[in-house]
Amino acid sequence: MSQSINFKRHRRLRSSNAMRSMVRENHVRTEDFIYPIFVIEGEKIKNEVPSMPGVHQLSFDLLLDEVKEVYELGIRSVIFFGVISEKDEIGTGAFAEDGIIQQATRLVKKEFPELLVVADTCLCEYTSHGHCGVIHDHDVDNDESLKLLAKTAVSQAEAGADIIAPSNMMDGFVAVIRQALDEAGYSHIPIMSYAVKYASAYYGPFRDAADSTPQFGDRKTYQMDPANRLEALREAESDVAEGADFLIVKPAMSYLDIVREVRDNFNVPVVAYNVSGEYSMVKAAAQNGWIDEKALVMEKLTSMKRAGADLIITYFAKDVAKWLKEDN
């Protein structure tokens, strides 16, 4: 080749696995994960969620075994979701002292004090209508719902939750919860806000797992329009101003542009929620032999880190932790 032709030799830094590892810009680590666990009433219950292979609803007597496995894999954070049979119009089970999440939190923190327990602060799993707040005239009453959400957050902190994660998408929820926590003596408890939560079709399998499908209408009056980008920045800006310590973007896979926007505009940890639909699509394709599951999952989670996520809530956490141990 003529010596007069000049071009960059980018392949020099891809010449071997060791070289590629040396210059790799983003890494997926076990410490990055928050693992979701569904807790159900009863005993000796381990129900696999039909639409989420490998994910189970677990009763209290089996919960510690699950958490022990998670902890031994090096995962240091979990988020609990409750599955209950007795529901009412205002979601009393969300803020009851003996609520399912409160009991699970006490149990796990007693046995695993170093494990971080994130409490999902919402009402939808506990309301008879499946919406994230109080219903008036067939709509969610924002300000009345805030009172119950604040009560829920305080009850979760009292039970020992390390982080409060409100997912309800009511206006002003961070401000009201922050004030309630501070007044109750929990000014040290951080808020991991579901700041940017889209009204997404990717949530279907979760609603099977948590039994939280709305009984009428949908959640489009409080969750965000998937078409909107600037709205995401307005939502995140409000939550940071109100006292959010973390910002969650949900879902992750189709919203990596939003993860990057949030990362570039706000100086707090950013969390990507790799939601149930994203999980189930991969599992279904893997079961049919259409994809290399490990390679695809690692590529997908790496893309979330590359987009700017500091942490990832993912149902793949145990799988990936095992793969990373094998690779090491």
Query: CA distances (Å), 218 to each of 76, 83, 322, in order?
Result: 34, 20, 38
Compare 143 and 109 and report the one with higher pLDDT.
Answer: 109
Sign of the alpha-carbon torsion through 124, 54, 56, 328: negative
Q: Give per-residue pLDDT as tens, 223-260.
A: 889 999 999 999 999 999 999 999 999 999 999 999 99
In 10 A of CB 260, how many CB atoms? 16
Are 127 and 90 spatial neighbours (Cβ–Cβ below 8 Å)?
Answer: yes
CA atoms in the 13 A half-sphere facing the CB of 180: 22
Question: Any known ligand binding at 207?
Answer: yes
Q: Under a CB-based contact definition with an 8 Å cutoff, are residues 63 and 111 in contact? A: no
The pLDDT tens digits for 279-304 are 999 999 999 999 999 999 999 999 99
122 near 131, Cβ under 8 Å? no
Per-residue pLDDT band for 90 (boundaries 50, 70, 90) equals confident
- 198 a known binding residue? no
CB 81 within 8 A of CB 93: no
pLDDT digits (tens, 9 = 90+) for 36-59: 999 999 999 999 998 999 999 999
- Consult the annotation and say whether 20 binds a ligand: no
Highest mean pLDDT among 63-77, 78-92, 165-179: 63-77
Q: Is 235 annotated as contributing to ligand binding?
A: yes
Q: Any known ligand binding at 303? A: no
Annotated binding residue at 315? Answer: yes
Is 111 annotated in a binding site? The answer is no
Report whether 59 belongs to an annotated binding site.
Answer: no
**Which positions are annotated as active-site residues?**
197, 250
CA angle 323–49–51, rounded 5-degree value: 85
CB 194 within 8 A of CB 250: yes
User: Residue 126 — pLDDT band, cuts 50, 70, 90?
Assistant: confident
Confidence (pTM): 0.92
CB atoms within 10 A of CB 271: 27
